[in-house]
Amino acid sequence: MKSKLVNLVLLLTCVLFSPLSLAEEENAPAKPQYSYYTLAPDITTNYVTQGNRLGYLRLQVDLMVIDPSLVKIVEEHSPLIRDAIITIIGRQPEAKVKSLAGREEIRQACLDTVNELLIAETNQKLLTELLFTKYLYQ
């Protein structure tokens, strides 16, 4: 008798709470579907060095967006993005370019500047992240 009662209570509990869990899942925000856009070709530019020689930096830059539909907009603005990154790198001293902490500062400066430019152009923040997937200096 007790086992039938326990089974009945369990069955009622499952029936009562399953619509609630379905409703919660339906109302839950959609998970972001991150997408990437790679600036092509790689960026090759100079940076500030001491002495009479030039420093060269070659970067491959991947831009992460939260929604695949934003990739097309980022692609349309890729010349603006490329110019902003080249300008930022051209102002960096050799010590900053060659250190890990400096590289992170440069990356963050590029992300912030590019997002500001894209907000001015499109009225929305497009980039979630800007990544240096190749970083070679000489």
Query: Which domains does the chain possess?
Result: 35-137 (3.30.479.30)
pLDDT at 26 over 80: no
Compare 117 and 16 and report the one with higher pLDDT.
117
pLDDT at 2 over 80: no
- Pick from 72, 35, 42, 30: nearest CA to 137: 42
Task: Report the share of the chain in percent with pLDDT over 90.
Answer: 70
Element (H or E) spanning 129, and its range?
strand 127-137
Render pLDDT for 59-84 as a digit per residue (tens, 0 to 9): 999 999 999 999 999 999 999 999 99
Global pTM reads: 0.76
Q: How far is CA 10 from the centre of its chain?
A: 46
Handedness of CA 112, 115, 120, 125 (dihedral sign): negative
